[in-house]
Amino acid sequence: MDGTSLTRRNLLAAAMAAGVGAVLASPAITRANAVANPEPAKDTMKPEYYELRSYHLRRGPMQKRLDDYLRDAFIPAAAKAVGGPIGVFGVSIGMNNPTTHVLIPHASLESFAALGGKLSTDADYAKSAEPFLAATPTEPGYESLDIKLMQAFPHMPRLELPAATAKKEPRIFELRTYRSHGERAGAKKVEMFDTAGEIAIFRRCGLTPVFFASDLTGPGLPSLTYMLTFPDLATREKSWNTFRVDPEWKKLSSTPGFTDPEIVVGIDNQVLSPTAYSQV
């Protein structure tokens, strides 16, 4: 029933082959520890990893079946295992609707690899998840599942929880993936965001980031993925319009080496709505 041919071990091996295995020696501090012990400056942190699970669904009972499983079984158990926060989102605008995205931060690749084993030994999870895990071929839990592993940008090494989440205020999210024609072009687009100032321009224009990350696995590599948050669609449109005419953005995007025709060959975009139990 799993729609991807890659196991968690396969994904881990692919990520290590990409040259990121060295982080295993020293896991980053967790958010729980950060409450009592302030985190170091961002440029001294080890970038965390993001697991993005995309459950592709059919309309009807399948949606409720997955929602019940995520809310009552998977999210509580996974948050206990990795520390959270874990986000759950439905697609409001964009391709592959209905799809439910689950965003899981990991302090290290070891955390990513160990999650399945931790769930398998969690008695509370086993009990709560049983109705979903016992799904039959005629009444499956989902159509297919894609799993993408990402590594946070060096200068934005942690997921930034929206203020609206803690206040339980309305919010929407935008998930965007930029694809490049080659590794050098992909690295240049990461540089444009991470050190050349594009993220700073985003913030100033009201494009509030949740995370920025390089994709380690998935189709269409090399690519990067990021998430933004807004209170509503009207604010999203206003913020993007402000960004498009910003003088600093115009200058940066016309700089040789940073122009779209040189480094971007495609953009995938979805507007997402969080579930009531999403921790992001």
**Residue 86 pLDDT greater than 60, yes or no:** yes
Per-residue model confidence (pLDDT) at position 274: 98
Summarised one tens digit per residue, pLDDT across range 199-210 is: 999 999 999 999
Separation of alpha carbons 256 and 203, rounded Å:
23
Per-residue model confidence (pLDDT) at position 8: 53
| CB-neighbour burial class of residue 56 (10 A; exposed 0-12, middle 13-18, buried 19+) | middle
Summarised one tens digit per residue, pLDDT across range 5-19 is: 345 555 555 554 444
Per-residue model confidence (pLDDT) at position 2: 38
Separation of alpha carbons 92 and 272, rounded Å:
5
Helix or strand (DSSP H, E) at 36: helix 31-36
Summarised one tens digit per residue, pLDDT across range 207-243 is: 999 999 999 999 899 999 999 999 999 999 999 999 9
Taking residues 110-125, report their average pLDDT: 97
What sections of 73-122 are H helices per DSSP?
Answer: 75-82, 109-120
Q: What are the E-state strand segments in 33-80? A: 49-56
Which part of the chain has CATH 3.30.70.100?
8-19+46-152, 163-274
Answer whether 271's CB lies under 8 Å from 236's CB.
yes
Helices (H) and strands (E) in the chain, counts: 12, 8
Q: Which overall architecture, per CATH, does domain 8-19+46-152 show? A: 2-Layer Sandwich (3.30)
Summarised one tens digit per residue, pLDDT across range 232-271 is: 999 999 999 999 999 999 999 999 999 999 999 999 999 9
Per-residue model confidence (pLDDT) at position 45: 85
Q: Which CATH number fits domain 163-274: 3.40.228.10, 3.30.70.100, 3.10.20.880, 3.40.50.150?
A: 3.30.70.100
Strands 99-106 and 208-215: unpaired
